[in-house]
Amino acid sequence: MFRKNHLSALIILFACISCNVEEKGLEKALVSINADDMKNHLSVLASDEFQGRAPATPGEEKTIAYLAEQFNRIGLKPAGEQDFFQEVSLVKLTADATMKMDITGGKQKLSFAFSDDFIGGTPQLSDFIRINDSEIIFVGYGIKSPEYQWNDYEGVDVRGKTVLMLVNDPGYATSDTSLFDGKAMTIYGRWTYKFEEAARQGAQAAIIIHKTDAAAYPWAVVQNSWSGPAYYLIGNEISRSDLQLQSWVTTESAKKMFESAGLDYDRITGSASIRGFKPIRMNLKASVSFKNQTEYVKSNNVAALWPGTDRSDEYIIYTAHWDHFGVNPAFEGDSILNGAVDNATGTAALLEIAEAFTRLPERQNRSILFLSVTCEEQGLLGSKYYAENPLFPLNKTAAVINMDGLNISGRTKDMTIVGFGNSELDDYAVTVLKKYGRYATPDPSPEKGMYFRSDHLNFALAGVPSLYPSKGIDDLEHGKEWGLAELEKWIEDHYHKPSDNYEPDIWKFDGMIEDIKVFFEIGHKLSITDRFPNWSPGSPYKPVRDRMMGK
């Protein structure tokens, strides 16, 4: 919870007295954002021909060529290191999926099957991984956080051992607001953090116990997302550690392990959210061996610039990841994960917003960078690469606006601001929504940790104020309950599944177009001010920003 800055809202209010002239000009830009254009882009980006847009595949070549061609047509300037492209060097690791996991030392030997009971892979650039009788230690949530005074690794040396842990964080499990951020997920609840921390602790293997509500997605999402090849940035921290295995097990598998160890699953996993929890030696051993294929590959962020006028050395960045999961032969029938909503919609919107900026009768002051990043689905890698290798200085980047998975279910009165309260950027969103008679709502399910699940996060971690507006739930016709149910049903049925297809006859475009106009206007407002919006007081991202801005 952060206090909001009301002063900035006032400033925007006063600035708007001069808005009338500006409003007229905006109209020309706004009409260029329309359903026909979106449909054209979507029918290409989400087509079977684009093969699910997997990084470093022919699907990528087609995708980035299309984006470059469109940005060029619209009249934007190439802003990559080479033309519109910023090359991202990656290592692609493909673990042999015939592996199994044996658990011994308990009442009975357990043998887990890949995909049904567990999934796993390695961050190591090795041909073969062998984990032999590695001692298993249950480390609760696997969190070491000075900020929340919590250390699940207290008093135990896990070097060369296997750590087993729960997803999400103790605040989620208990809804206790004095623990972490209460029900809202913190960054410590994310799987990426948990593997990284295990690596820092010197563990040999790390296993996360899946639970649908705590992870915010069913086991099928784990299967679909992480049983294919995994990508890592070259030189990343985790590949340089001793961690040999990153794995997820189903709740059922975990329960079997506890039972075999003679431990009470409910009691012990429950105790993991009580302050003072101590890691537990389970007297079990894990063994896993598998072949691992290492390939060095290159992928690309796509960067296009619409230069500003008198503040052209200051930037507003729109981000939308272009990548998805490609083709997974494990699926019978439709094996192409087209990622139509996720994130052909955001990528197409990037093009629409770029075009809208070019239609403004008067050019904006600040430069606008349209950045379509790669490898979001592989752990936000393209945006991480950009944040580490920015094309334009981050201390000159006033704001980032991210789009990931737009609204396909019709007009809503609201838009969700994921991470509402984080920064003064909220005020810009509120003002624009108000203009349309709409309103901003905080994330209806902060326990899902959505703020940590898309590309703006890497900009936030690097200090740049980042806004992640998402589709609303207050449906104009059917109301909130229906809207939320619709969203949840979509996640259940289509999220990271081959059925995330482009359905022009089923999707509703009116709500989507209204949302894109809001995205455009937020960026436009930011592009004509000279203010650098900041994080809210108390935000974990503020100290980095203050430092880079010389405060």
Provide the minimum distance between the beta carbon of 342 and Zn ion in the complex, in angstroms, as a whole number: 4
CA atoms within 13 A on the CB side of 327: 15
Name the residue nearer to Zn ion (CB basis): 197 or 352. Answer: 352
Among 197, 314, 404, 424, contact with Zn ion (rule: CB under 5 A) = 404
Name the residue nearer to Zn ion (CB basis): 342 or 514. Answer: 342
Provide the minimum distance between the beta carbon of 7 and Zn ion in the complex, in angstroms, as a whole number: 34
> Can you spell out the DSSP letters for 325-339?
-EE-TTSSS--EE--
Among 181, 196, 323, 342, contact with Zn ion (rule: CB under 5 A) = 342
Name the residue nearer to Zn ion (CB basis): 187 or 373. Answer: 373
Name the residue nearer to Zn ion (CB basis): 343 or 534. Answer: 343
Stretch that binds Zn ion, among 264-272, 400-408, 474-482, 540-548 (CB under 5 A): 400-408
Rounded CA separation 139/165 (Å): 5
Name the residue nearer to Zn ion (CB basis): 338 or 539. Answer: 338
Q: Does 343 bind Zn ion (CB under 5 A)?
A: yes
Stretch that binds Zn ion, among 176-184, 261-269, 325-333, 402-410 (CB under 5 A): 402-410
Provide the minimum distance between the beta carbon of 343 and Zn ion in the complex, in angstroms, as a whole number: 4
Q: How many CB atoms lie within 10 A of CB 27?
A: 10
Q: How many CB atoms lie within 10 A of CB 362?
A: 11
Provide the minimum distance between the beta carbon of 472 and Zn ion in the complex, in angstroms, as a whole number: 18
Stretch that binds Zn ion, among 22-30, 170-178, 261-269, 339-347 (CB under 5 A): 339-347
Quote the tokens at residue 45: 């980006």
Stretch that binds Zn ion, among 277-285, 360-368, 401-409, 463-471 (CB under 5 A): 401-409
Q: How many CB atoms lie within 10 A of CB 539?
A: 18
Name the residue nearer to Zn ion (CB basis): 404 or 426. Answer: 404
Name the residue nearer to Zn ion (CB basis): 353 or 403. Answer: 403
Name the residue nearer to Zn ion (CB basis): 380 or 462. Answer: 380
Rounded CA separation 454/234 (Å): 20
Question: Is 364 strand, coil or helix?
Answer: coil
Stretch that binds Zn ion, among 256-264, 275-283, 357-365, 396-404 (CB under 5 A): 396-404
In Å, how far from its chain's centre is CA 70? 25
Closest CA to 276 of 156, 107, 106, 150: 150
Q: Does 414 bind Zn ion (CB under 5 A)?
A: no
Provide the minimum distance between the beta carbon of 248 and Zn ion in the complex, in angstroms, as a whole number: 19
Question: Is 214 strand, coil or helix?
Answer: helix
Name the residue nearer to Zn ion (CB basis): 83 or 492. Answer: 492
Provide the minimum distance between the beta carbon of 179 and Zn ion in the complex, in angstroms, as a whole number: 29
Q: Is the distance from CB of 163 to CB of 208 less than 8 angstroms?
A: no
Provide the minimum distance between the beta carbon of 372 and Zn ion in the complex, in angstroms, as a whole number: 12
Which element (helix H / strand E) includes 44? helix 35-45
Angle CA 454–455–459, to nearest 5: 130
Provide the minimum distance between the beta carbon of 349 and Zn ion in the complex, in angstroms, as a whole number: 13
Asked if omega into 343 is within 30° of 0 (cis), the reply is: yes
Count of residues of this chain found to bind Zn ion when the rule CB under 5 A is applied? 3
Provide the minimum distance between the beta carbon of 454 and Zn ion in the complex, in angstroms, as a whole number: 6
Quote the tokens at residue 162: 């296997």
Name the residue nearer to Zn ion (CB basis): 9 or 491. Answer: 491
Provide the minimum distance between the beta carbon of 324 and Zn ion in the complex, in angstroms, as a whole number: 8
Stretch that binds Zn ion, among 90-98, 169-177, 342-350, 427-435 (CB under 5 A): 342-350
Stretch that binds Zn ion, among 198-206, 340-348, 420-428, 458-466 (CB under 5 A): 340-348
Q: Is the distance from CB of 521 to CB of 514 less than 8 angstroms?
A: no
Alpha helices in 148-236 (DSSP H): 170-174, 191-200, 212-215, 219-226
Instruction: Give the pairing type, strands 77-78 and 326-327.
Output: unpaired
Rounded CA separation 180/187 (Å): 10
| CB-neighbour burial class of residue 224 (10 A; exposed 0-12, middle 13-18, buried 19+) | buried
Rounded CA separation 332/335 (Å): 6
Residues at the interface with Zn ion (CB under 5 A): 342-343, 404
